[in-house]
A and B are shown apart, each in its own frame.
Chain A
Amino acid sequence: MATKTQQKTTWMTIRPRFLPLSLKVDRRAPITALIILMVTLVVLVFSISYGEYDITPWEVLQTLTGTLPDDHADARNYNLVVHTFRLPRILTAFLVGMALATSGAIMQGITRNPLAEPGILGVSAGAGLAAVSIIVWLDNVPLSLLPWAAFGGALATAVAIYVLSWKQSGSAPIRLILIGVAFAAVLGALTTFMLVFGDINDVQQAYVWLAGSVYGRNWEHVHTLGAWLLVLLPLAIFSARQLNTLGLGDEIARGLGTRVELQRLLLLVISVALAAAAVAVAGTIGFVGLVAPHITRRLVGPSHEGLIPITALFGGALLVLADLIGRSIIAPSELPIGIVTALIGAPYFVYLLYRYR
């Protein structure tokens, strides 16, 4: 056997000669990102090929790349099914996963608590209550109003949690969490209250939304969410250093020159906006924001330069997979994606609780 060579460092440097940019990431980050992307692409192709109208994976690839022979008998149908129905829905799932996972990673970072995520911090509950309220209280609401209501509900809840957790010495992470959990409980109860007294048709509609679903999502959803991510994701990635210092505790972070309260507020806004955008498009989908950052931390370590982008990819991959499972497990019926993530995520949550006991 060959002797083991000198062990390399666990980090790598990125310093492009033509850009005033320098960065340090975990050495495992690029390869992990590549693997996740490849797996996602494979799942994506199979997911598109699967359904009531079967298309072979090869034909899916041909349709996607525009190399389907013109004289193919089903060319028109394939294009319709792939480009109009299945691809946007799956891309929506991917983007929603990216947004929720990034949001969760940031929340875990600023609260220094491994169990924080949009669902647990009450942000999803706020969005849910707002959406259910307008479904139940208003007659003939246009569906396009739902995302905005959800967005408003999420933001309002986050602001309330932040303000209430503020004391003279600042917003302690533990208060953010406790108040968030309390909010989630109260808002959840209010939502249930409304569902109990609502009109049966409204309630059904509300339930579908609450369960979290990407059913029937189109290119408009992809574009909207994509635009949000295009702004928020780079902000999150460039805030990695702040997240890193906050991870050492408020005092150390302050000693290093981080403006703790300001950075925490900015990061909270980024994270809530990400969660709100996702919830607005696909309803409340739980556990992705919890599970994805956790597994990613195992893969590339706790430094946020690598963690944020890779957890985004991982969350996206997770939801693409969850969507495929939801569509296939009780076919021809469909299990809402939010229920699939709960089925995957709840046991993981219990495992985490056990581990951090």
Chain B
Amino acid sequence: MDDLIRIDDLSLSYDGDTIIVHQLNLRINRGTITALVGSNGCGKSTLLRGLSRLLKPVAGSVHLDGRDIHAMKAKDLAKQLGILPQSPSAPEGLTVHELVAQGRYPHQNWFQQWSREDERIVHEALVTTNLTMFADRPVDTLSGGQRQRAWIAMALAQQTDVLLLDEPTTYLDLAYQMDVLDLLDDLNAEGRTIVMVLHDLNQAARYADDIVALRGGQIVAHGTPEQVMTPENILQVFGLKAEVITDPVTGTPMCVPIGRRGQRRRERQVSLSANGKVRESVKIP
């Protein structure tokens, strides 16, 4: 097994008292997309922070490529692992090019602040994210989707093997959500390992090789989308009754929540068909 990230008995806490993530063990393989899912407050964002040293563990360790991330130099880690927190904000008036150029920070020093290589890689990141024509525009004047692409471009300029993202599609229109996920999929195809927190189970099932379902700071299920996306797991993780069908486009599992309204309708449908009056389609106004 080629596990790039190894998490052993990791416990995380913000204040030292309330433990959010409990003694968690996880292996993340090189070149995969892993989605962390779970309900609000389950510890998925906290786990992502723990992976990236934004949060110091109370106990346990995280190894990246065999090295303890807390024993690495800040810049060395930043050359291998990039992180994009949820809805970051740029200073007023900062242009896309200026933002993306900051991704070069770990590769620069006091005197070499803008080498030819920096310039080339920033340009490539803009091309990859399809932002060259917006390079001179202030980030705060872009649409939500373009802005998210600009931040991803910054992380790309960082040239890391691993990219961690916290809900990269939140607050975006559906079309932009797909746009961002497709971009991440392209980056993964180039060999990057991606770990992201996703709210939408169906997007997770479509884009991830591995899904990690969390509840109460512990892993409830971990495996391929087919293994993880079962009605039992969804009930356990989200406390939600759902049916799992096959995504008509990709063949991956797809979650269809039932809800109270759905439950009522289904019961009525069942009772109607039981009476033998209507068998096929039931039209309820």
A contact set with B: CB distance below 8 Å: 7, 9-11, 13-15, 20-24, 112, 168-169, 238, 240-241, 244-245, 247-249, 251-252, 254-259, 297, 301-303, 305
Contact = CB atoms under 8 A, between A and B. Distances in A.
B88 A248 contact: yes
Contact of A241 (B88, B105, B135, B158): B105
A257 B106 contact: yes
B136 interface: yes
A105 to B, nearest CB: 12
B269 to A, nearest CB: 49
Given A247-B91, A249-B85, A257 B113 contact: no
Contacts of B92: 297, 302
Given A20-B112, A169-B14, 12 more contacts: A9-B97, A9-B136, A14-B114, A22-B118, A24-B113, A241-B113, A248-B99, A255-B82, A255-B83, A256-B106, A259-B74, A302-B92
Given A7-B136, A10-B97, A256 B78 contact: yes
B115 A9 contact: no
Interface string B116-157: 101100000000000000011000000000000000000000
A21 B105 contact: no
Interface string B76-98: 11110011110011111111011
A215 B110 CA distance: 39
B102 A22 contact: no
A232 B82 CA distance: 32
A240 B74 CA distance: 18
B16 A302 contact: no
B52 A22 contact: no
21 contacts: A22-B118, A244-B98, A245-B105, A247-B94, A251-B88, A252-B83, A252-B84, A255-B78, A255-B83, A255-B85, A256-B103, A256-B106, A257-B76, A257-B79, A257-B106, A297-B92, A301-B94, A302-B92, A302-B93, A302-B94, A303-B98
A251 B54 contact: yes
Contacts of A254: 53-54, 74
Contacts of A112: 91
Nearest to A109: B91
Closest 8 CB pairs of A and B: A257-B78, A257-B106, A24-B114, A257-B75, A255-B83, A256-B105, A251-B85, A302-B91
Given A20-B111, A21-B112, A238-B110, A301 B98 contact: yes
Nearest to A24: B114
Most A C-beta atoms less than 10 A away, residue of B16, B54, B77, B97: B54
B83 A251 contact: yes
Contacts of A23: 113-114
B108 interface: yes
A247 B112 CA distance: 20
A109 to B, nearest CB: 9
A24 B117 CA distance: 13
A255 to B, nearest CB: 4
A240 B101 CA distance: 13
B15 interface: yes
B93 A297 contact: yes
Contacts of B95: 10-11, 301
A9 B135 contact: yes
Contacts of A169: 14
Nearest to A21: B111
Contacts of B79: 257
A181 to B, nearest CB: 22
Contacts of A238: 110
A247 B99 CA distance: 10
B93 A301 contact: yes
Contacts of A247: 90-91, 94
Contact of B113 (A255, A256, A305): A305
B39 to A, nearest CB: 23
Nearest to B79: A257
